[in-house]
Amino acid sequence: MSLEERLIEYFKWFHQNPELSYEEYETTERIRGILEEEKIEILPCSLKTGLVAIVRGKRKGPVQALRCDIDGLPIVEETGLSYASRHKGKMHACGHDFHTVAGIGCAILLNQKREELAGTVKILFQPGEESSLGALKLLETDVMEDVEQIWGIHADPTNEAGVLGIREGYVTAAVDRFVIRVTGTGCHGAHPDDGIDPIPAAAAVILGLQTIVSRNINAFHPALVSVTKVEAGNTWNVIPETALMEGTVRTMSREDRSLFEKRMREVAENTAKAYGGQAELEWFPGPAATYNDGEMVHKSIQAAEKCGLLVVPEESSMGGDDFSFYEKKIPGCYIKVGTGKGAAIHQPNFQVDQGVILPTAGYLTELLMQY
């Protein structure tokens, strides 16, 4: 069987057997089995799910990492594919099955070219990306200690198969979650004057929050706040005591991120106060924005030219990726790989064009061998 046929067979297996964040036990065992069969070294490490493959080049060079995430999503698949998910309610709807086989393919090719490879490549099969925090599991081990730079890919259904979206600078946003609780005093719905209604206060807070984007953040800086959940009261004739709001803030720069948190607290607390109530904001920081290093972007375009792949400028996204946790200490580059135009990621009919698997593995190999 050719390498392409093997990779497609692996891909179908991963697609059929999606597992959610931190439950990727079967997936991990399958990756381990394939790597062992292909005689690729696996680094011993303390991960419960996920694993790290290593290819040691015969020439001197840097230690590089390639991140491939491996988890699926809690989505009921509707693609109708012959190799659709066998796990009801779980689906590889973000292309992490593709990332996994592209990583395996790259490991196989690099292993064949060890004589020419300069330095060492660690291929991280990372768990829990969809939780936004899976990268931290790898950072808790010592695997990343000697790594000098890191590469990542992501499936992109807005581009034709094999077209690469590459951009210097910020590519994905910082992802923060917040909860605001507005407290008033409950009373009869017919006598609002007897209490402090938290609902109009919460409504004013929601509108006020949007002015942070329009009035406090530099107009040239991407930033947004979405209140995605509002909860208050449980019947029609009682004014409740509290109103709860939850949502997400997306920013690119570190300064905007901390400014946003500070202003949200001020707007929530002072607006609620103006209505006679109180507000409390809880802030749950997620990954920072992903930033593509200029030098690495240059290399990634060069490698694409060598492989005859088309590169288009990538738009930055207000979505997030925990890839940025790796970039706290080392430079990184995150490349979008066109997987054929179709349904968006995280949708029940998202799918990856199989024809993109081998060229992506070949491209990543070219990329990692440029040193």
- C-alpha atoms less than 13 angstroms from C-alpha of 60 in its C-beta half-sphere: 0
- Comparing CB distances to Ni ion, the nearer of 94 and 309 is 94
Q: Nearest residue to Ni ion, using CB?
A: 94
- Return the axis-axis angle of helices 25-37 and 96-112, rounded to nearest 10°: 20
* Cβ(264)–Cβ(225) below 8 Å: yes
Least distance in angstroms from the C-beta of 116 to Ni ion? 32
- Calculate the CA 138 to chain-centre distance: 15
- Comparing CB distances to Ni ion, the nearer of 81 and 344 is 344
β-strand partners of 238 = 188
Least distance in angstroms from the C-beta of 154 to Ni ion? 6
202 touches Ni ion by CB under 5 A = no
- Comparing CB distances to Ni ion, the nearer of 94 and 369 is 94
Q: What are phi and psi of 328, to 5 degrees?
A: -60, -35
Per-residue binding letters, 91-120, with Ni ion (x by CB under 5 A) = ---x--------------------------
Return the sign of the alpha-carbon dihedral for residues 36, 38, 40, 45: negative
Least distance in angstroms from the C-beta of 13 to Ni ion? 19
> Given the rule CB under 5 A, which of 46-54, 88-96, 104-112, 205-213 is the region that contacts Ni ion?
88-96
* Cβ(264)–Cβ(249) below 8 Å: yes
Residues in contact with 358: Cβ distance below 8 Å, sequence separation at least 6, in sequence order: 3, 4, 7, 105
Least distance in angstroms from the C-beta of 177 to Ni ion? 18
Least distance in angstroms from the C-beta of 102 to Ni ion? 13
Hey, what's the torsion of the CAs at 5, 345, 159, 28, to 10 degrees?
A: -30
**Count, residues near Ni ion per rule CB under 5 A:** 1
Least distance in angstroms from the C-beta of 80 to Ni ion? 22
Q: Which residue has the tokens 């054929």?
A: 340
Least distance in angstroms from the C-beta of 150 to Ni ion? 16
* Cβ(94)–Cβ(75) below 8 Å: no
Q: Which residue has the tokens 């449980």?
A: 234
- Comparing CB distances to Ni ion, the nearer of 203 and 352 is 352
335 touches Ni ion by CB under 5 A = no
CA angle, residues 288, 53, 103, in degrees to nearest 5: 65
- Comparing CB distances to Ni ion, the nearer of 153 and 212 is 153
- Comparing CB distances to Ni ion, the nearer of 91 and 213 is 91
Other C-beta atoms closer than 10 Å to the C-beta of 61 total: 17
- Comparing CB distances to Ni ion, the nearer of 179 and 318 is 318
Least distance in angstroms from the C-beta of 85 to Ni ion? 16
75 touches Ni ion by CB under 5 A = no
β-strand partners of 150 = 65, 332
- Comparing CB distances to Ni ion, the nearer of 93 and 239 is 93
- Comparing CB distances to Ni ion, the nearer of 94 and 171 is 94
Separation of alpha carbons 42 and 39, rounded Å: 9
Least distance in angstroms from the C-beta of 1 to Ni ion? 29
Report the site for Ni ion in 248-287 (rule: CB under 5 A). Answer: none
Q: What are phi and psi of 219, to 5 degrees?
A: -60, -20
Q: What are phi and psi of 317, to 5 degrees?
A: -120, 145
Q: What is the DSSP string of 144-160?
A: TTT--EEEEEEEETTS-
**Residues near Ni ion, by CB under 5 A:** 94
